[in-house]
Amino acid sequence: MKKSMFEVGRSSVNLPMPAYISGCGCIAGSKEAQGPIADEIDSLSTDDKFGMDSWEAAESYLQKEAVRIVLEKSGADKKEIRYMFAGDLLGQSIASSFGLLDYEIPHFGLYGACSTCGESLSLGAMTIGTGLASKVVCVTSSHFASAEKEFRFPLEYGAQRPKASTWTVTGSGAFLLMGERTTAALAKITGITTGRIIDFGVKDNANMGCAMAPAAADTIWQHLEDFGRAPQDYDRIITGDLGQIGSRALYDLLKAKGIEIEDRHMDCGTTIFDIEEQEVGSGGSGCGCAAVTLAAHILPRIKSGEWQRVLFLPTGALLSKTSFNEGLAVPGIAHAVVLEHV
Amino acid sequence: MVNEERIRISPDAAKEIQENSETLEGAMPPQESSSAGADKAGVGSREQEKEKQKQEYNEYVKQVTPTKNLWWQMCKAFIVGGGFCVIGQFILNTCESLGMDKETSGSWASLLLVLLSVILTGLHLYQCLAAWGGAGALVPITGFANSVASPAIEYKSEGQVFGIGVKIFTIAGPVILYGVFTSWLLGVFYWIGIVLGVV
């Protein structure tokens, strides 16, 4: 069978006409404001409800605000945006639906758990790279309190957090993708490897790093295989929210396959929080974790040329309260995008 | 019918899929080669291999996942749980010194401890206490009060009926249900004992 001009290997896409990330905006809450990358985040609040009545409304506000910031920073008008690729962690993705309602931009609602940032950037870049649109916005968010409510216990319930657990980031990141190269371009997306759903039978919902590590390892392995590259071709290989323990598992899984990434690996979950000081368990997590870290910390380094090529792969744990209660394992997924210096 | 046709995989095709799908799964420690020669073995052994791989990974995860120090946890639980008991005893003694009988004093102790827990929950202090003290904060009556108060706070935004009304017992519900059921069961045994003249 003849492959299309974009298909590479088994699950990757090559974009000869790259998608330029022309702008980004991010906003985060009070805990992130005490974290190591706080200075780089566009907007911070000490009020985790952001003046809203409920946690869900607060998360909607995060998305609305992130998109407002990216549009303002890049001077783009909302009417120029062809599509919006958005997602969050709440049931039926209500944070995106309600938060982005007022923009009246053609909308694709996505769910890939914490990997949604990678999923939205992949789809956005595919749309741009194949010429279907000239400007799209990709936005994802998560909120600690709404995620606790959705997946765990009420916030004030006296439960102890296991050491392997992760702390959902309260924040949102939005990215403007364009087909046209401008001077403002922060980076370009030149390749995509779409993750598969990988189940290694981990049933512990408090150890999502280890549940997602096999998916991350699979996507990295598949990516290197598809593009015929080695880890040395990247300045950084950045996972979304494996945390300290999940990262360990990732190294070991890849080592068994003869791939060494430890020297160039970075995890957004252990970057956005100081895991020694902030009592976040194994690290940060959530759609907002990868999105905020990408916007605040990673893109500026690619723009400056400090990093020439980065593999960015947000990781997601595909579970719900129901699947967990019914005794199902926690499958993982990881979507990779190649970010390059312009 | 159409679906059935599509789903069925011939042994040859299954073997082909198995051979072609070189994936990360090969990354796990080598597995003993099973009877690969047999026609039907393709699907079966692959299933087995997957199961084995899951088991091995879970064992690995167990090894790398850090746990809390049990003795230190128990020590902290003793301090917090013991603290609540001391407060309870103080209330009990005070009531008795005011001339109340033992039962009334006990009721006051429970009542005030529950009130204290609910107030601490509302002020976001009980959660911090439980995060440190673990079961010491969970097991006493104060933990039960916390498990009722916290959903009430959380689901307030969903309304009085479908929010608080429906969800207030999401955590305490099982305790109430099985508590009542166990008491009923014991009652039945007690009754049987009386009928048989044992009790």
Residue B33 has pLDDT above 60, yes or no: no
Q: How far apart are CA A121 and CA B38, in angstroms?
A: 45
Find chain B residues with C-beta within 8 A of A281's C-beta: none
Please answer yes or no on whether B157 and A54 come within 8 Å at the CB atom. Answer: yes
Residue B11 has pLDDT above 80, yes or no: no
pLDDT of residue B23: 52
Mutation choice for A interface testing from B22, B64, B121, B168 by most A CBs within 10 A: B64
> Minimal Cα–Cα distance from B199 to chain A, Å?
41
When CB atoms are compared, the residue of A149, A248, A256 closest to B28 is: A256
Residue with tokens 């392995």: A221
> Minimal Cα–Cα distance from A180 to chain B, Å?
37
pLDDT of residue A3: 85
Please answer yes or no on whether A157 and B146 come within 8 Å at the CB atom. Answer: yes
Please answer yes or no on whether B64 and A222 come within 8 Å at the CB atom. Answer: no
Please answer yes or no on whether A154 and B143 come within 8 Å at the CB atom. Answer: no
Helix B41-64 to helix B11-20 angle (10° resolution) is 40
* C-alpha count within 13 angstroms, C-beta hemisphere, residue A198: 29
Q: Count A/B contacts: CB-CB distance under 8 Å.
A: 109
Q: pLDDT in tens for each of the 342 residues of chain A?
A: 788 999 999 999 999 999 999 999 999 999 999 999 999 999 999 999 999 999 999 999 999 999 999 999 999 999 999 999 999 999 999 999 999 999 999 999 999 999 999 999 999 999 999 999 999 999 999 999 999 999 999 999 988 889 999 999 999 999 999 999 999 999 999 999 999 999 999 999 899 999 999 999 999 999 999 999 999 999 999 999 999 999 999 999 999 999 999 999 999 999 999 999 999 999 999 999 999 999 999 999 999 999 999 999 999 999 999 999 999 999 999 999 999 999
Please answer yes or no on whether B127 and A202 come within 8 Å at the CB atom. Answer: no
Query: Which residue would you say has higher pLDDT here, A303 or B43?
Result: A303
pLDDT of residue B6: 42
pLDDT of residue B46: 87
> Minimal Cα–Cα distance from B101 to chain A, Å?
33
pLDDT of residue B16: 47
Provide mean pLDDT across the span B51-71: 92
Find chain A residues with C-beta within 8 A of B67's C-beta: 162-163
Q: What is the chain B residue with the closest CA to A54?
A: B157
> Minimal Cα–Cα distance from B131 to chain A, Å?
5
Contact A269, A166 (CB under 8 A): yes
How many residues in chain B? 199
> Minimal Cα–Cα distance from A185 to chain B, Å?
35
pLDDT in tens, B64-119: 999 889 999 999 999 999 999 999 999 999 999 999 999 999 999 999 999 999 99
Whole-number Cα distances in Å, A40 to A27, A31, A191, A298, B125 = 10, 14, 26, 10, 32
pLDDT in tens, B157-181: 999 999 999 999 999 999 999 999 9
What would the two tokens of residue B164 be? 């608080």
> Minimal Cα–Cα distance from A160 to chain B, Å?
5
Residue B35 has pLDDT above 80, yes or no: no
Q: Name the band, by pLDDT with cuts 50, 70 and 90, for residue B24.
A: low
Using the Cβ of A53 and the Cβ atoms of chain B, whether some distance falls under 8 Å is answered with yes
pLDDT of residue A2: 82
pLDDT of residue B173: 95
Average of per-residue pLDDT values in chain B = 83
The 3-class SS string of chain A reads CCCCCCEECCCEEEEEEEEEEEEEEEEECHHHHCCCCHHHCCEECCCCCCCCCCHHHHHHHHHHHHHHHHHHHHCCCHHHCCEEEEECCCHHHHHHHHHCHHHCCCEEEECECECHHHHHHHHHHHHHHCCCCCEEEEEEEECHHHHHHHHCCCCCCCCCCCCCCEEECCEEEEEEEECCCCCCCCEEEEEEECCCCECCCCCCCCCHHHHHHHHHHHHHHHHHHHHCCCHHHCCEEEECCCHHHHHHHHHHHHHCCCCCCHHHEEEHHHHHCCCCCCCCCCEEECHHHHHHHHHHHHHHHHHHCCCCEEEEECEEECCCHHHHHCCCCCCEEECEEEEECC
Q: Name the band, by pLDDT with cuts 50, 70 and 90, for residue B17.
A: very low
Mutation choice for A interface testing from B58, B61, B119 by most A CBs within 10 A: B61
When CB atoms are compared, the residue of A159, A161, A200 closest to B57 is: A200
pLDDT of residue A56: 96
pLDDT of residue B30: 39
What would the two tokens of residue B7 be? 């789903």
Find chain A residues with C-beta within 8 A of B53's C-beta: 200
Contact B153, A55 (CB under 8 A): no
What is the value of pTM for the model shown? 0.88
Contact A315, A332 (CB under 8 A): yes
Burial class of A275 by CB neighbour count within 10 A (0 to 12, 13 to 18, 19+): buried
Q: What's CA A233's distance to the chain center, in Å? A: 22
Mark which residues 87-146 of B lie under 8 Å from A by CB: 121-122, 124, 126-127, 129-131, 134, 137-138, 143, 146
Please answer yes or no on whether A53 and B130 come within 8 Å at the CB atom. Answer: no
What would the two tokens of residue B37 be? 């020669």
Closest CA to A166 of A315, A88, A280, A274: A280
